[in-house]
Protein backbone atom coordinates (compact mmCIF):
# COMPACT_ATOMS: atom_id res chain seq x y z
CA UNK A 1 0.00 0.00 0.00
CA UNK A 2 1.39 3.40 -0.97
CA UNK A 3 1.80 5.99 1.75
CA UNK A 4 -0.12 9.21 1.35
CA UNK A 5 1.83 12.25 0.27
CA UNK A 6 2.50 14.93 2.86
CA UNK A 7 3.07 18.33 1.22
CA UNK A 8 6.47 19.88 1.81
CA UNK A 9 6.99 22.14 4.80
CA UNK A 10 6.49 25.87 4.37
CA UNK A 11 9.20 28.45 4.92
CA UNK A 12 8.95 32.13 5.80
CA UNK A 13 7.64 34.21 2.92
CA UNK A 14 5.69 31.37 1.30
CA UNK A 15 2.26 32.22 -0.09
CA UNK A 16 -0.96 30.88 1.39
CA UNK A 17 -4.11 31.13 -0.73
CA UNK A 18 -7.31 32.04 1.13
CA UNK A 19 -10.46 30.95 -0.69
CA UNK A 20 -14.17 30.54 -0.03
CA UNK A 21 -15.25 27.18 -1.49
CA UNK A 22 -18.64 27.11 0.21
CA UNK A 23 -20.54 29.74 2.21
CA UNK A 24 -20.28 33.50 1.79
CA UNK A 25 -18.10 35.49 4.16
CA UNK A 26 -17.59 39.19 4.91
CA UNK A 27 -14.17 40.83 4.86
CA UNK A 28 -14.55 41.85 8.50
CA UNK A 29 -14.81 38.19 9.49
CA UNK A 30 -11.41 37.35 8.01
CA UNK A 31 -9.36 40.37 9.09
CA UNK A 32 -7.83 38.71 12.15
CA UNK A 33 -7.07 35.48 10.34
CA UNK A 34 -5.42 37.15 7.37
CA UNK A 35 -3.38 39.37 9.68
CA UNK A 36 -2.33 36.27 11.61
CA UNK A 37 -0.94 34.68 8.42
CA UNK A 38 1.14 37.81 7.88
CA UNK A 39 2.33 37.86 11.49
CA UNK A 40 3.50 34.26 11.16
CA UNK A 41 5.75 35.31 8.29
CA UNK A 42 3.68 34.12 5.35
CA UNK A 43 1.98 35.99 2.52
CA UNK A 44 -1.80 35.62 2.22
CA UNK A 45 -3.06 35.64 -1.37
CA UNK A 46 -6.79 36.22 -1.61
CA UNK A 47 -8.94 34.31 -4.08
CA UNK A 48 -10.70 36.37 -6.72
CA UNK A 49 -14.12 35.42 -5.32
CA UNK A 50 -13.21 35.27 -1.64
CA UNK A 51 -15.87 37.86 -0.75
CA UNK A 52 -18.33 37.21 -3.57
CA UNK A 53 -21.92 36.51 -2.54
CA UNK A 54 -24.41 34.50 -4.57
CA UNK A 55 -27.84 33.71 -3.15
CA UNK A 56 -29.50 30.57 -4.46
CA UNK A 57 -31.36 29.04 -1.55
CA UNK A 58 -28.21 29.63 0.48
CA UNK A 59 -25.63 32.42 0.57
CA UNK A 60 -22.75 30.93 -1.38
CA UNK A 61 -19.38 32.60 -1.93
CA UNK A 62 -20.06 32.95 -5.62
CA UNK A 63 -21.60 30.78 -8.29
CA UNK A 64 -20.40 27.22 -8.71
CA UNK A 65 -18.20 28.32 -11.62
CA UNK A 66 -16.67 31.12 -9.57
CA UNK A 67 -15.90 28.87 -6.61
CA UNK A 68 -14.53 26.13 -8.88
CA UNK A 69 -12.28 28.69 -10.56
CA UNK A 70 -10.86 29.84 -7.21
CA UNK A 71 -10.18 26.39 -5.78
CA UNK A 72 -8.55 25.10 -8.96
CA UNK A 73 -6.38 28.21 -9.10
CA UNK A 74 -5.32 27.77 -5.48
CA UNK A 75 -4.60 24.06 -5.78
CA UNK A 76 -2.59 24.32 -8.99
CA UNK A 77 -0.77 27.67 -8.91
CA UNK A 78 2.94 26.87 -8.54
CA UNK A 79 3.53 29.99 -6.44
CA UNK A 80 1.02 28.94 -3.77
CA UNK A 81 2.33 26.76 -0.92
CA UNK A 82 -0.88 26.09 1.04
CA UNK A 83 -4.64 26.57 0.63
CA UNK A 84 -6.73 27.74 3.59
CA UNK A 85 -10.52 27.78 3.43
CA UNK A 86 -12.19 30.91 4.78
CA UNK A 87 -15.11 28.91 6.20
CA UNK A 88 -17.37 25.92 5.66
CA UNK A 89 -21.15 26.11 5.49
CA UNK A 90 -22.40 24.36 2.38
CA UNK A 91 -21.24 24.17 -1.22
CA UNK A 92 -18.08 22.06 -1.45
CA UNK A 93 -20.00 19.13 -2.94
CA UNK A 94 -20.62 21.29 -6.01
CA UNK A 95 -16.88 21.35 -6.69
CA UNK A 96 -15.96 17.67 -6.59
CA UNK A 97 -16.63 16.75 -10.23
CA UNK A 98 -14.64 19.75 -11.43
CA UNK A 99 -11.50 19.64 -9.29
CA UNK A 100 -8.26 19.51 -11.26
CA UNK A 101 -4.97 18.33 -9.76
CA UNK A 102 -2.62 18.26 -12.74
CA UNK A 103 -0.16 20.84 -11.39
CA UNK A 104 -1.05 20.07 -7.76
CA UNK A 105 0.42 16.59 -8.21
CA UNK A 106 3.72 18.17 -9.21
CA UNK A 107 3.59 20.59 -6.27
CA UNK A 108 1.36 19.17 -3.49
CA UNK A 109 0.24 21.66 -0.87
CA UNK A 110 -1.65 21.51 2.42
CA UNK A 111 -5.39 22.12 2.26
CA UNK A 112 -6.71 23.45 5.57
CA UNK A 113 -10.32 23.52 6.71
CA UNK A 114 -13.09 21.56 8.38
CA UNK A 115 -16.89 21.29 8.39
CA UNK A 116 -18.07 21.34 4.74
CA UNK A 117 -14.42 21.12 3.62
CA UNK A 118 -14.51 17.45 4.62
CA UNK A 119 -15.61 16.56 1.08
CA UNK A 120 -12.59 18.28 -0.49
CA UNK A 121 -10.35 16.44 1.96
CA UNK A 122 -11.98 13.15 1.05
CA UNK A 123 -11.32 13.91 -2.62
CA UNK A 124 -7.66 14.72 -1.96
CA UNK A 125 -7.22 11.54 0.06
CA UNK A 126 -8.68 9.50 -2.78
CA UNK A 127 -5.83 10.88 -4.87
CA UNK A 128 -3.27 10.05 -2.17
CA UNK A 129 -2.77 13.46 -0.50
CA UNK A 130 -3.01 14.28 3.20
CA UNK A 131 -4.73 17.45 4.43
CA UNK A 132 -5.30 19.34 7.68
CA UNK A 133 -8.68 19.09 9.40
CA UNK A 134 -8.42 22.31 11.37
CA UNK A 135 -9.84 25.74 12.02
CA UNK A 136 -10.84 27.90 9.05
CA UNK A 137 -9.77 31.54 8.73
CA UNK A 138 -13.19 32.70 9.92
CA UNK A 139 -13.75 32.14 13.61
CA UNK A 140 -17.29 31.19 14.53
CA UNK A 141 -19.44 32.69 17.28
CA UNK A 142 -17.84 30.37 19.84
CA UNK A 143 -14.37 31.62 18.86
CA UNK A 144 -11.16 29.63 18.67
CA UNK A 145 -8.02 29.41 20.79
CA UNK A 146 -4.74 30.89 19.57
CA UNK A 147 -3.21 27.50 20.25
CA UNK A 148 -5.54 25.89 17.72
CA UNK A 149 -4.03 28.09 15.02
CA UNK A 150 -0.47 27.69 16.33
CA UNK A 151 -0.79 23.93 15.98
CA UNK A 152 -1.81 24.32 12.33
CA UNK A 153 1.28 26.42 11.66
CA UNK A 154 3.36 23.73 13.40
CA UNK A 155 2.06 21.17 10.90
CA UNK A 156 2.75 23.56 8.01
CA UNK A 157 6.34 23.77 9.24
CA UNK A 158 6.70 19.98 9.33
CA UNK A 159 5.84 19.09 12.94
CA UNK A 160 3.42 16.21 13.50
CA UNK A 161 0.89 16.64 16.32
CA UNK A 162 0.82 14.61 19.53
CA UNK A 163 -2.07 14.89 21.98
CA UNK A 164 -2.60 13.71 25.54
CA UNK A 165 -6.22 13.86 26.66
CA UNK A 166 -8.27 13.35 29.79
CA UNK A 167 -10.25 10.15 30.03
CA UNK A 168 -13.98 10.07 29.25
CA UNK A 169 -16.35 7.62 30.90
CA UNK A 170 -17.74 6.62 27.51
CA UNK A 171 -14.33 5.70 26.08
CA UNK A 172 -13.65 2.11 25.06
CA UNK A 173 -10.15 0.98 26.00
CA UNK A 174 -7.64 -0.38 23.53
CA UNK A 175 -4.76 0.52 21.25
CA UNK A 176 -4.69 0.72 17.47
CA UNK A 177 -2.82 2.32 14.60
CA UNK A 178 -3.94 3.27 11.13
CA UNK A 179 -4.70 5.97 8.60
CA UNK A 180 -7.05 8.69 9.80
CA UNK A 181 -10.15 9.40 7.71
CA UNK A 182 -13.29 11.41 8.30
CA UNK A 183 -14.27 14.88 9.48
CA UNK A 184 -17.76 16.31 9.67
CA UNK A 185 -20.28 13.51 10.13
CA UNK A 186 -22.98 15.10 7.95
CA UNK A 187 -20.57 15.21 5.01
CA UNK A 188 -19.21 11.71 5.59
CA UNK A 189 -22.86 10.62 5.52
CA UNK A 190 -23.57 12.71 2.40
CA UNK A 191 -20.75 10.98 0.49
CA UNK A 192 -21.72 7.40 1.38
CA UNK A 193 -22.40 5.40 -1.77
CA UNK A 194 -20.59 7.87 -4.02
CA UNK A 195 -17.18 7.51 -5.60
CA UNK A 196 -15.99 10.36 -3.39
CA UNK A 197 -16.65 8.54 -0.12
CA UNK A 198 -13.80 7.71 2.21
CA UNK A 199 -12.41 4.17 2.12
CA UNK A 200 -12.97 2.93 5.69
CA UNK A 201 -11.20 -0.43 5.52
CA UNK A 202 -8.64 -0.74 8.38
CA UNK A 203 -8.83 3.01 9.01
CA UNK A 204 -9.33 5.09 12.15
CA UNK A 205 -12.46 7.21 11.74
CA UNK A 206 -12.90 10.71 13.16
CA UNK A 207 -16.33 12.35 13.38
CA UNK A 208 -17.66 15.70 14.66
CA UNK A 209 -20.82 17.71 14.07
CA UNK A 210 -22.96 20.68 15.06
CA UNK A 211 -26.63 21.63 15.15
CA UNK A 212 -28.27 18.29 14.37
CA UNK A 213 -31.47 16.96 15.87
CA UNK A 214 -30.91 13.76 17.80
CA UNK A 215 -32.96 11.74 15.32
CA UNK A 216 -30.81 13.12 12.47
CA UNK A 217 -27.64 12.18 14.36
CA UNK A 218 -29.02 8.69 14.90
CA UNK A 219 -29.94 8.44 11.20
CA UNK A 220 -26.39 9.27 10.17
CA UNK A 221 -24.83 6.82 12.61
CA UNK A 222 -27.32 4.17 11.47
CA UNK A 223 -26.34 4.82 7.85
CA UNK A 224 -22.69 4.24 8.70
CA UNK A 225 -23.67 1.01 10.40
CA UNK A 226 -25.84 -0.16 7.50
CA UNK A 227 -22.99 0.65 5.11
CA UNK A 228 -20.71 -1.64 7.13
CA UNK A 229 -18.39 1.16 8.23
CA UNK A 230 -18.14 -0.04 11.83
CA UNK A 231 -17.17 -3.53 10.66
CA UNK A 232 -14.26 -2.06 8.71
CA UNK A 233 -12.59 0.50 10.98
CA UNK A 234 -9.87 -0.13 13.55
CA UNK A 235 -10.82 2.71 15.88
CA UNK A 236 -13.15 5.69 16.32
CA UNK A 237 -12.42 9.22 17.52
CA UNK A 238 -15.36 11.48 18.34
CA UNK A 239 -14.84 15.23 18.48
CA UNK A 240 -17.20 18.05 19.29
CA UNK A 241 -20.92 17.36 19.17
CA UNK A 242 -22.15 20.90 19.65
CA UNK A 243 -25.68 22.37 19.81
CA UNK A 244 -27.26 18.97 19.27
CA UNK A 245 -30.96 18.32 19.75
CA UNK A 246 -33.47 20.90 20.93
CA UNK A 247 -31.99 23.68 23.06
CA UNK A 248 -34.98 23.74 25.38
CA UNK A 249 -34.89 20.00 26.00
CA UNK A 250 -31.15 19.30 25.96
CA UNK A 251 -29.41 20.38 29.16
CA UNK A 252 -26.06 19.70 27.51
CA UNK A 253 -26.86 21.80 24.43
CA UNK A 254 -23.66 23.83 24.60
CA UNK A 255 -21.54 21.03 26.07
CA UNK A 256 -19.50 19.65 23.19
CA UNK A 257 -18.31 16.49 24.89
CA UNK A 258 -21.13 15.46 27.19
CA UNK A 259 -24.83 14.90 27.03
CA UNK A 260 -27.19 12.78 25.03
CA UNK A 261 -25.45 13.00 21.62
CA UNK A 262 -22.41 11.10 22.84
CA UNK A 263 -24.53 8.59 24.75
CA UNK A 264 -26.55 7.96 21.60
CA UNK A 265 -23.36 7.24 19.64
CA UNK A 266 -21.98 5.11 22.48
CA UNK A 267 -25.11 2.97 22.56
CA UNK A 268 -25.08 2.46 18.80
CA UNK A 269 -21.47 1.25 18.70
CA UNK A 270 -21.51 -0.73 21.95
CA UNK A 271 -21.39 -4.11 20.20
CA UNK A 272 -18.18 -3.31 18.32
CA UNK A 273 -14.75 -4.16 19.74
CA UNK A 274 -12.61 -1.28 18.42
CA UNK A 275 -11.24 1.38 20.82
CA UNK A 276 -13.18 4.64 21.00
CA UNK A 277 -12.22 8.13 22.14
CA UNK A 278 -14.94 10.57 23.12
CA UNK A 279 -14.31 14.27 23.57
CA UNK A 280 -11.39 14.84 21.22
CA UNK A 281 -10.83 18.62 20.93
CA UNK A 282 -11.58 19.09 17.24
CA UNK A 283 -14.74 20.36 15.59
CA UNK A 284 -17.13 23.29 15.88
CA UNK A 285 -15.67 24.17 19.27
CA UNK A 286 -13.44 26.75 20.94
CA UNK A 287 -10.48 24.39 21.36
CA UNK A 288 -10.18 23.07 17.82
CA UNK A 289 -6.87 21.24 17.56
CA UNK A 290 -5.90 20.06 14.08
CA UNK A 291 -5.80 16.49 12.82
CA UNK A 292 -4.13 15.17 9.67
CA UNK A 293 -6.56 13.41 7.34
CA UNK A 294 -4.55 10.70 5.61
CA UNK A 295 -1.92 10.67 8.33
CA UNK A 296 -0.93 7.51 10.17
CA UNK A 297 -2.19 7.85 13.73
CA UNK A 298 -1.63 5.83 16.89
CA UNK A 299 -4.41 5.94 19.47
CA UNK A 300 -4.03 4.59 23.00
CA UNK A 301 -7.15 4.52 25.12
CA UNK A 302 -6.27 3.63 28.68
CA UNK A 303 -6.39 5.60 31.95
CA UNK A 304 -4.66 8.26 29.89
CA UNK A 305 -5.53 8.87 26.26
CA UNK A 306 -2.94 9.56 23.56
CA UNK A 307 -3.31 10.40 19.89
CA UNK A 308 -0.03 10.67 17.98
CA UNK A 309 0.84 11.07 14.30
Q: Could you give the residue numbers annotated as active site? A: 115, 208, 284
Nearest to 212 by CA among 204, 224, 220: 220
| Residue 55 CB partners (closer than 8 Å, separation 6+) | none
Strand partners, 61: none
Give pairs for 45-49: CB < 8 Å, separation 24+. 45/15, 45/16, 45/17, 45/18, 45/79, 45/80, 46/17, 46/18, 47/17, 47/18, 47/19, 47/20, 47/73, 47/74, 48/73, 49/19, 49/20
CA 259 centroid distance within chain = 22
Burial category of 46 from C-beta neighbours within 10 Å (exposed 0-12, middle 13-18, buried 19 and up): middle
Cα separation, 72 vs 99, whole angstroms: 6
CA dihedral 137, 142, 143, 144 (to 10 degrees): -90
Q: Are 22 and 87 in contact (CB under 8 A)?
A: yes
> Which secondary structure element, helix H or strand E, spans residue 217, and what is its range?
helix 214-226
Cα separation, 12 vs 242, whole angstroms: 36
Dihedral sign computed on CA atoms, order 217, 223, 228, 233 = negative
Cα separation, 115 vs 284, whole angstroms: 8
Amino acid sequence: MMKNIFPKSLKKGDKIAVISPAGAVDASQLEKGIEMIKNKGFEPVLGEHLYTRFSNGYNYAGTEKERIKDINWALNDKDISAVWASRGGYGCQHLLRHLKLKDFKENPKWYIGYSDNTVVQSYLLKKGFASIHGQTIKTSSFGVTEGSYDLIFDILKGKKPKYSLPSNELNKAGNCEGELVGGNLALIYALLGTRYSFDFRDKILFIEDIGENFYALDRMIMSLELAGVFNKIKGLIIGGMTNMGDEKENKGYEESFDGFANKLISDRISKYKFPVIFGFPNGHIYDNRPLIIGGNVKMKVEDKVKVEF
